[in-house]
Structure 1
Amino acid sequence: MALAVSAQAQTQASPQESTAENGANSMVVATREAPPFAMKNEDGEWHGLAIELWRNIAEGKGYDYRFVESDLAGMIDGLQDGRYDASVGALTITAEREELVDFTHPFYATGFGIVTRKSSPGWLNLFNNFFTLGFLKAVLALSALLMLVGVLFWLAERKHNTEEFPEGARGIGSGFWFSAVTMTTVGYGDKAPRSTAGKILALIWMFAAIIIISTFTGMIASSLTAGQISGAISGPDELDSVKVGSIEKSASDEWLSDQGVGFSHYPDVAAGLEAVDAGELDAFVYDAPLLRYSVKQMQLGNLRMLPGSFGRQDYGIALPAGSALREPIDIALLREIESRSWRDDLQKMLGKGD
């Protein structure tokens, strides 16, 4: 239910006093687009989870107000200089912001989400995984081990079995071949140790090879499977090795900086997701519910959200420091979020994920 608005509200307030506490009848409430908590339709009217929450509080308390659009930094700065009486939306409570303004009790708890690209499906993607740096390192390490064992076989056999393990590079190659077929349990039988030392070495290598080949097979299978089901990254620990984007002066900005992750700034979620979809970014980090909603609404089928959320966020309504409105708004807010209608709205807009 829309409430009446007084156009003279802001001009009656001094820079140090909010309009509502200065005796004016109309409050100036700042917000910004952050679907599904704050959205603006084609007629310029605001709606969304946080907007409707504020409307219910204002209606119950008899507050007269009007919405004004701001940016993220302005929602805090405007409370400090008296332009706004409240800031409503997906506004995260942080220690840095709490030093500048007051917050109500949290009305929604969440974390940060990560959006990345889906892997290319099918055999092409599986084939590409064989040419990753990790796979190459594993193959080189295994080859080096086979060469080492092959040289040991050659040293043990070169004087006792010169036909199969001759001197020089050809004999070393024979040792490498024997160590490889023994490890894979193929055992062509074209070469076999004749000396006692060679036979003992072969016996030790057979048992060791069982453990080595099992471990190596598991590593390769894990690597290829992870490559099939993941996009550019599989978790927050990998953010420092890929191209990351977020929104400047947001809570995710602070979180990424604390984690030592460098990232590019984007004006809004839509721009960041489009950059990931176009391959300009490997991951975009922001509030999990906002990302989940935007990915669904934008219908970018090439994107996926990583399971779960990271860090901690609490959304609250921001008020000027020392505001007398904090206590009555807190009481009304708690009543609202304890209601069945609030839970139903969350379920409708965000689904079971949040």
Structure 2
Amino acid sequence: MKRILYMLGFLCCLATNGQKVNDTLLVGFTPAAPFIVENEGKLDGLNVWLWKQVAKDIGKPYKMVQMNFSDMLDSLKTGGIDVSINPLTITSNRSKEMEFTHSFFASNSTVTVAQVSSFSKFMTFIKGFFNLNFLKGLFLLLLIILIFGFFGWYFERKRNPENFRPTYRGIWDGLWWSAVTLTTVGYGDKAPKTRMGKISALVLMFGGLLFISGLTASIASSLTVNQMSNNPEGFNEFKNRKVGTIAKSGTRTFLSEHFFKNVSTYPSVVPGLTDVKKGKIDAFLYDEPILKYRIQKDSSLRELQLLPIKFDVQFYAFGLPKTHTLLEQQISQRILEIMESKEWEIVLNEYGLAEL
């Protein structure tokens, strides 16, 4: 009987310690505008506002602790802090190591690249004409003009000397007639009169129509591929490029799962965006609202642009250690109440945020 009582007492102690929360909550954060904005020692932003509303109802004192992103996640796992008010993306891997409150915002990741100058775009367009496929098509076009020009002159030089001079200079007449016929210009200044000349003209006209159509499509395709390689607009276009993101972020996990191999990680957004500007990496991939806000507010980053690429839909929440389930329930309940109020939409608009 005593053993049973001791065992029950031990289990009760474990349960009590598992739910133990510091008298003064340690609230970890790292700047992530517009959710957490640090300005001259003062904190602002959507998440700061939301936490203050929640803290009023919890009724416990708290202390703000600034940390870098990786250390903050580690502290959540070990219980070094009681809550993180950063916009943490809810993922299956993180849920195994920490608790999440109810999600309060949904967004997605996007891609930031350096803007391409007008001159660079023009040079890219010009280079598109000098790829192998285009040069092959151009060579074939000249060859067809040469062959049918010679045939036209050969068949017409005796019976049609006014249009195709019988001397070797008449070869130029044949080339001119072949070129205007092939390109469907048809000036009408030269026309065949012999049977073989007319047959050659028919083959040239119908064959030329098909060839010019194919050549035009090939040139357009070549220019499009060249432009896409320099201004990629698809998520998969970056798999073989050097990109960057935040270490231990949801985006970093997403890139690993989608076989991105050349990924550099950064402790915060600004160093990554700066490397994009300097050309050290081709793109920086991270949460769209954070990237958008940073580029708009930082004049040194105005040369960067967000591509119209959206991937990895994310749901943001506060994070807590696994031992703080009761505190998580309290915070989640208050978050739901705030989100159902009209004030929530007003605050979102104030910080320039719009949910998916």
TM range (shorter): 0.7 to 0.9
Distance in 2 separating the partners of 1:175 and 1:248 = 68
Once the two structures are superposed, what CA deviation does each residue of 1:65-99 show, in whole Å capped at 9, x if it has no partner?
A: 11112222222321222211111112111111111
CA offsets 1:76-126 (integer angstroms, 9 cap, x no match):
3212222111111121111111111111111110000211122213xx345
- Greater gyration radius: 2
For residue 311 of structure 2, what is the aligned residue in structure 1?
310
**Cα deviation 1:148-203 (Å, max 9, x = unaligned):** 64576479669746898x9xxxx8x9998776543433457798776265233213
Match of 2:6 in 1: none
Structure 2 matches for 1:61-100, cutoff 5 A? 61-100=58-97
Correspondent of 2:112 among 110, 115, 119: 115
Partner of 1:237: 236
Measure, in 2, the Cα distance between the counterparts of 1:246 and 1:18: 40
Matched, 1:251 2:250: yes
Is the aligned partner of 1:128 residue 2:123? yes
Of 335, 341, 345 in structure 2, the residue corresponding to residue 339 of structure 1 is 341
Instruction: Tell me if the contact between 1:19 and 1:28 (Cα under 8 Å) persists in the aligned partners.
Output: no
Q: Which runs of 5+ in 1 are unaligned?
A: 1-15
* Partner residue in 1 for 2:54: 57
- Distance of 2:17 and 2:33 partners within structure 1: 28
Q: Check the 8 A contact 1:20/1:26 in 2, yes or no.
A: no
SS in 2 for 1:90: strand
Q: Could you report, residue by residue, the CA deviation over 1:301-337 in whole angstroms, capped at 9, with x for unpaired residues?
A: 2111112522211111111225222222111011112
Is the Cα–Cα contact under 8 Å of residues 54 and 331 in structure 2 kept in the other structure?
yes
Distance of aligned partners of 1:38 and 1:151 in 2 relative to their CA distance in 1, 3 Å threshold: same
What is the rounded CA distance, in whole Å, between the counterparts of 2:341 and 2:108 in structure 1? 23
Q: Distance in 1 between matches of 2:92 and 2:47?
A: 21
In the other structure, the counterpart of 1:284 is 284
Matched, 1:330 2:342: no
Highest RCO, 1 vs 2 (Cα 8 Å, sep ≥ 6): 2
Q: Deviations over 1:278-305 (max 9, x none)?
A: 2223211110000000000102321111
In structure 2, do the counterparts of structure 1 residues 211 and 94 end up closer, same or farther at CA, with 3 Å as the change threshold? same
In the alignment, is residue 204 of structure 1 matched against residue 186 of structure 2? no
Q: CA contact under 8 A between 2:153 and 2:173: conserved in structure 1?
A: no
Deviates more, 1:60-69 or 1:209-218: 209-218
The number of residues matched between the two structures is 329
TM-score, normalisation: structure 1: 0.78
Larger helix fraction of residues: 2
**Hey, what does 1:7 align to over in structure 2?**
none
1:4 aligned residue: none
The structure 2 residue matched to 1:33, chosen from 31, 34, 48, is: 31
Alignment RMSD (CA, Å) = 3.7
Distance of 2:263 and 2:179 partners within structure 1: 46
Cα distance in structure 2, aligned partners of 1:272 and 1:215? 39
Structure-2 change in CA distance of 1:288 and 1:233 (3 Å): same
Which ranges of structure 2 fall in alignment gaps of 5 or more residues?
A: 1-13, 159-163
SS in 1 for 2:331: helix
Query: Which one-letter code corresponds to 1:349 in the other structure?
Result: Y
User: Would you say the 8 A contact 1:146–1:176 is kept in 2?
Assistant: no
**Secondary structure of the corresponding residue to residue 249 of structure 1:** coil
Q: How does 1:8-27 map to 2 (within 5 A)?
A: 21-22=19-20, 24-27=22-25
Identity %: 31
TM-score by length of 2: 0.77
> Which of 134, 139, 154 does residue 139 from structure 1 map onto?
134
Which one of the candidate residues 39, 44, 49 is aligned to 1:47? 44
2:109 and 2:287 in contact (8 A); partners too:
yes
**Residue 251 (structure 1) shift:** 1.2
Partners of 2:304 and 2:257 in 1: CA distance: 26
Change (3 A) 1:142 1:19: farther
* Corresponding residue of 1:184: 183
Alignment deviations for residues 211-238 of structure 1 (CA, whole Å, 9 cap, x no partner):
33653575578679x68xx974323232
Distance change >3 Å, CA 21–CA 198, structure 1 → 2: same
Q: Report which stretch shifted further, 112-121 or 287-296.
A: 112-121
Paired amino acid for 1:317: F
For the 8 Å contact 1:18–1:83, the answer to whether it is kept is no
Q: CA deviation at 1:210?
A: 5.6
Deviates more, 1:28-37 or 1:138-147: 138-147
Does the aligned pair in 2 maintain the 1:76–1:97 contact within 8 Å?
A: no
* 8 Å Cα contact 1:252-1:286 kept in structure 2: yes
